[in-house]
Each structure stands twice: as C-alpha cells, then as structure tokens.
C-alpha cells in the first residue's frame, strides 16, 4: 500500500505532521478485509482510475453511515490505504480513537477555533502521498431519492491548492444495509426501515471515474466563485456515475439542503406570523364587540330585575299634566 513501511513504530511521511503506524494499518486490514468480503457482495467498476501512488482525493457521494467501510474496502482493493477526515469526537472513543490515530485518520473540529486544522492536516497528508477520502456533501444526503446534494468546497480547495487529482466515486447499496437515521421521511429515503439489516446479504455497487478535469481553474484565485464552480464540476461527475450505477436519470438540479432548510424556516415564520395575526384579529374583534356592548349599555338597564324596568333604577318620563 502507498506510504506503508514495515514494523509497528509510528511512521512520518512527507512534510512533518502526518503520522501513522503501519502496525495499526495492517491490523485493520487483517480484521476488516475478510469481514467485509463475507458481509457484503460487490459490484466494483473503474478501480483502474484510482492512481496507485501520489497524493489523490477520492470524492464520493454519501448515502449511509455504513458506506465509509464499503468505500474504504473498494479503495484498498484498488491499491491504496484510505485516509478519512472524521469528527474529532470519534477520536475520544476508547480503542476506536486509538485506531483512528494509529492509522493516520484526520480529526475535524467543527464549530471551534481548531476547525482550520483539518484542512492543514489534509494538505500535509496529500503532499505526503496519501489517498484522502472526501464526502463533499458534508453529511449523508437529505435528498428524498438519495441523489447527491450540492457540495461543500473543501475537496476543490485541496485539489487546486496542492495539484492533487480528484477521482469521483459513486456508491449504491449501503442505504439498504443501514439507512441514514436522520434522512427525509418521504420518497425512497422515507420508505427505508431504520436500523441495521445485514440479511439478506447486501451488494455494494461502487464505481470510480477518471479524474475530474479542473485544469481550467489553474492559476485562478481560490475565491468563492472559483471554488463553487470547481465543486459543481466534482459533484456533477459523482452524480453522473451514480446515475450509471442506478440505471436512472439524475435530477437536473441537485438538492440544496441549506436552501430547503431556509425555505422551511421562512415557511414556519410565515405560519407563526399568520397565527399571530389571526390571534390579534380575534382579540380585536372581541374588543370591538365589547365596545359595542358598552355603548349600548347607556340605553339599557344595567340590571334587569324581576319587577320590570322600574326596579332597575330608571323609569320612563311621564307626561306632565296639563295646567288647568
């Protein structure tokens, strides 16, 4: 495997900062490889598109919390050891955190002052010749039909900054093994039963395409426009490959989760505003009705007793007797 050395001591590859233990890597291979061969069926295509050496980015769609294992298996059998960017909290889990650190995985510190460290470490890993795994969507897809969403720009930034190739990869089947527990409750996603379903044995379809051509962005400033366009090219390549795997035509416009959330927020605010307006209108109507009743109170008795209007404190004016 690329970058692997004999022995169990920590190894440092390329620029300072990216370390891993070949012993840990060999241990994970010894355990996971036969397990995955036994657990999952395979339909693998395009393994020759994964470069055998040098820093490379694998950019893939994300449909299940189980697809990193299926993708890692594909990449390893293509000749590379996968390095993921994983949530920093996973590194705090006993034993599992040791495995992540030992195999050279990269922690991502979200919503903190250390968030930029992941990109710095990812750049070092690429320059060290590692095979870096990216899910540009940032999370499992929220598209109801499980098509890729719009992507985030991290993979494009790394590729344009380091010159590393971006190999688009699409996978299909992991959603049947372990549907995403926070997926949409409609469409294909809504039809999947949550939980883990190893039986009957699931087939993992994975396809790698040729590297995405990003040459037209060479030399351009890494501003929002450039990164957005390069990211869209990467996501388009992934989506086309997924369409090939599924034998379906992908949607013309990718699902934009942030836009959908914003639309839902605005709709909720509009509903709340409408409910408030209805409540205010109801109170106003009640106030008007009370005002009418109060105004009418000057011409009617305050209290109508059983003895008739005279007992209510007023009597009709009697005509004066004519002067004799």
Residue 296 lies in a domain: no
Residue 102 lies in a domain: yes
What is the pTM (predicted TM-score) of this model?
A: 0.76
Residue 319 lies in a domain: no
Cα separations (Å) of 2 from 5, 21, 80, 102? 9, 13, 6, 16
Q: Which domain holds residue 259?
A: 22-181+196-264
CATH number of the domain to which 215 belongs: 3.40.1130.10
Per-residue b/e over 148-182, b at no fewer than 16 CB within 10 Å?
Answer: bbbbbbbbbbbbbebebbbbbbbbbbbbbbbbbee
Residue 162 lies in a domain: yes
Cα separations (Å) of 315 from 276, 295, 310, 322? 47, 20, 5, 20
- Distance CA(95)–CA(106), nearest Å, equals 16
Residue 174 lies in a domain: yes
What is the DSSP secondary structure assignment for residue 291, as one 8-state letter? Answer: H
Residue 15 lies in a domain: no
Q: What is the pLDDT of residue 142?
A: 94
Residue 302 lies in a domain: no
Residue 277 lies in a domain: no
Cis peptide leading into residue 200 (ω within 30°): yes
Mean pLDDT by 10 residues, the chain (324 residues): 40 56 96 94 97 97 94 97 93 93 91 76 94 95 96 95 97 94 84 91 97 96 97 98 97 85 68 69 69 59 50 48 48
Comparing C-alpha atoms, which of 106, 75, 78 is closest to residue 90? 106
The tally of domains found in the chain comes to 1
Q: What is the pLDDT of residue 259?
A: 76
């Amino acid at each position: 495997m690329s970058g692997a050395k004999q022995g169990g001591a920590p190894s440092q590859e390329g620029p300072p900062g990216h370390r891993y233990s070949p012993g840990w890597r060999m241990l994970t291979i010894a355990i996971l490889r036969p397990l995955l061969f036994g657990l999952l069926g395979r339909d693998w295509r395009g393994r020759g598109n994964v470069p055998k050496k040098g820093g490379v980015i694998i950019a893939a769609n994300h449909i299940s919390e189980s697809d990193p294992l299926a993708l890692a298996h594909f990449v390893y059998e293509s000749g590379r050891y996968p390095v993921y960017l994983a949530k920093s909290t996973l590194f705090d889990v006993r034993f599992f955190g040791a495995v992540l650190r030992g195999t050279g995985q990269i922690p991502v510190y979200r919503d903190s002052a250390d968030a930029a460290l992941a990109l710095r470490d990812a750049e070092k890993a690429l320059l060290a010749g590692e095979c870096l795994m990216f899910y540009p969507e940032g999370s499992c897809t929220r598209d109801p039909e499980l098509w890729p969403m719009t992507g985030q720009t991290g993979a494009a930034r790394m590729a344009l900054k380091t010159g590393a190739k971006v190999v688009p990869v699409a996978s299909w089947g992991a959603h049947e093994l372990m549907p995403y527990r926070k997926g949409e409750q409609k469409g294909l996603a809504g039809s999947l039963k949550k939980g883990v379903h190893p039986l009957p044995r699931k087939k993992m379809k994975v396809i790698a395409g040729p590297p995405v051509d990003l040459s037209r962005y060479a030399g351009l400033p890494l501003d929002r426009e450039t990164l957005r366009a390069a990211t869209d090219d990467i996501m388009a390549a992934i989506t086309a490959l997924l369409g090939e795997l599924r034998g379906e035509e992908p949607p013309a416009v990718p699902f934009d989760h942030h836009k959908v959330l914003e639309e839902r927020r605005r709709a909720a605010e509009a509903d709340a505003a409408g409910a408030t307006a209805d409540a205010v209108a109801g109170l106003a109507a009640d106030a008007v009705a009370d005002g009418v009743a109060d105004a009418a109170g000057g011409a009617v008795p305050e209290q109508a007793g059983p003895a008739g209007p005279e007992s209510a404190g007023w009597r009709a004016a009697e005509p004066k007797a004519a002067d004799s």
